[in-house]
Amino acid sequence: MDSKIKIAVLIRVYDRIEDLKYNLKIIADTWTENEYFVIVVSNGKSKGYVVDESLYPYINKLVVLEANEGHLKGNSQLLKEGAKFIPANCDFTLVLEADTWLYGDSLISKYTKILTDSDIVWASADWYDKYISVATDFAIIKSDYIKKNPDLFDFGRFPECYVSNYMRDHQDKSISIEENMPVHVPSYVLKYPYVHNKERRFYAFPKSKMVTHHVEHLKNGMLQKKRYFNIISQSDYFEDASVKCKKWELFKIKFWINLSRFFLKRTWYSKKYYKTLDNQKD
């Protein structure tokens, strides 16, 4: 009897086709603990961003949307369309950005087990320090919850707040994936290692072995992202991106992430609150 959990992986992509290529290969090579049904939803065709046929063997269902609803609604569009193809035998769905790479799937196994044994329906990182919010770039969700709640992904701006507000309104529960936190440094920190200066967001998460870098923010683009992945995974997965002293490089990333936990944060003196959204779709 096959004891592996069946999980749908809903990957959304617009222009990050190269990221998608590497992500699919990482999933095929290193996600071995569960059985995955990979759904890729793309809305970049009209701008020339086409999923190459060489990637088809890694994809169980490819959904290509002819029209793109734009920056604010494009993300919502991809998730809503992709959700239509979640197989009935997949108890869980992992929603994933194309540029979010995870080495191995032990983290997925851990949180699907937690969801299985509880009434929690959603697992992802706690996104904002100010607002009650959940990350949507990497989230593990009970598939039935998605199917029973077609408006779950009907957001515009602030999707992380929209989903949290939605679960509050429906009295549903979520759990934080601590391994993917902290996500940001406080807004008063203008410059910090391993953080993009404008977004003030970490892009490397050693505990989960995940990188989410936007390559345009990196000096050497995709090559540097591959190096970070090798560091985080402590492997030579990308042979063309060798790193000297990977242990030392990993220590530095961990040091700066852990140091950031001592910065004065809003939650030290006031509680988080739900952001007010215009009709929940601001």
Q: What domains are there in the chain, each with its CATH number?
A: 6-177 (3.90.550.10), 195-260 (no CATH)
Cα–Cα dist 226/97, whole Å: 17
pLDDT digit string, tens, across residues 16-31: 999 999 999 999 999 9
Question: Considering all CA atoms of the chain, what is the largest pairwise distance in Å, rounded to the nearest integer?
Answer: 55
Residue 279: predicted pLDDT: 56
Confidence of residue 1 (pLDDT cuts 50, 70, 90): very low
Confidence of residue 282 (pLDDT cuts 50, 70, 90): very low
Whether the per-residue pLDDT at 85 is higher than 90: the answer is yes
Confidence of residue 71 (pLDDT cuts 50, 70, 90): low
- Better-predicted residue by pLDDT, 2 or 227: 227
pTM: 0.93
pLDDT digit string, tens, across residues 202-211: 999 999 999 9
Whether the per-residue pLDDT at 106 is higher than 90: the answer is yes
Q: What is the DSSP string of 170-203?
A: TT-EEEE-GGG---B--TT----TTEETTTTEE-
Q: Give percent of the chain with pLDDT exceeding 70.
A: 96
| Mean of per-residue pLDDT scores for the chain | 92
Residue 157: predicted pLDDT: 85
